[in-house]
Homo-oligomer: A and B are copies of this chain.
Amino acid sequence: MAVVYKRVALIGLGLIAGSMSLAMRRGRLAGEIVGYARSKETRDIAREISLVDRVEDTLAATVQDADLVVLCVPVGSMGAVMEEIAPHLKKGATVSDVGSVKKAVFEAILPALPQGVHFVGAHPMAGTEHSGPRSGFATLFDNRWCLIVAPEEADQSAVEKLAALWKGIGSNIEFMDPEHHDLVCAVVSHTPHLIAYTMVGVADDLRRVTDSEVIKFSAAGFRDFTRIAASDPTMWRDVFLTNKDATLEILGRFTEELFALQRAIRMGDGDQLFDYFTRTRAIRRGIIEAGQDTSAPDFGRVPVKPE
């Protein structure tokens, strides 16, 4: 693969930035990768493990002469970072982000964007329950989707270049407008996360069932909820605060449906439950056919070693 950008600056050195750096190296997609994180500890770790080619201690030095600057910080911090880097951006550079919400990111970034600098958003739909500079790995984005979300007036060649980078990183790409992006994510990601957090909180609160019981017997369904709920709290706080409308809409639909099923349980309406559970099964098959998961038993997990 050919170099797509001569110099890439990554702001924020967590799971996504780290994995991007390793994937860009694997594909030789960037001439040089420069990185910055607000915390000194993170910068020190990044240097120690050579997560990027060069770690800088200021935002200004990080974005200097960069052809692509990617904001890999929580959605709520993007506006402040953008204002600080704006005066130091190179003419013709592209600013991008990896936020899970797009309308709010556009509102935070576009007003501060200097003349002659492009903005093209991206949202790689991949992750693990881990975070921090040591959590990245080069294959994180392989065969996962990356949504490219550009303003209507965006420069077409800047959009294509960013799409080429993400293809080189290993993703499948798709283009979306910010409103639709936020609705899709509310359905497939944001609301499921909120629900998982809630269920884990309920289990923790219940005095008659001990935490140790919850933990011991988690294999029966609860385990998948805890995995989702183990994600980074700051990131998720910002997601819900900034994708408020779509999340509240989907939550409303969810509670309606849940109440209907709750009523069926109370009334003993077995047919309604059976029909509902049969219908939802079909979606699972679609996901396996789409290659987004494996059908291996026990969810394809590595067996846990016996004591």
A residues neighboring B (CB under 8 Å): 76, 100, 125-130, 135, 137, 139-140, 142-145, 147, 170, 172, 174, 180, 183-185, 187-206, 208-209, 211-231, 233-234, 236-238, 240-241, 244, 247-248, 250-251, 253-255, 257-258, 261-262, 265-266, 268, 270, 273-274, 276-281, 283-287, 290-307
Contact = CB atoms under 8 A, between A and B. Distances in A.
Given A203-B188, A258-B194, A266-B248, A219 B306 contact: no
Nearest to A290: B215
A294 to B, nearest CB: 5
A307 to B, nearest CB: 7
Among A137, A217, A274, the most chain B Cβ lie within 10 Å of the Cβ of A217
A170 to B, nearest CB: 7
Given A229-B277, A258-B198, A293-B304, A270 B237 contact: yes
A192 B128 contact: no
A58 B204 CA distance: 47
Nearest to A191: B199
A129 B299 contact: yes
Contact of A286 (B143, B215, B266): B215
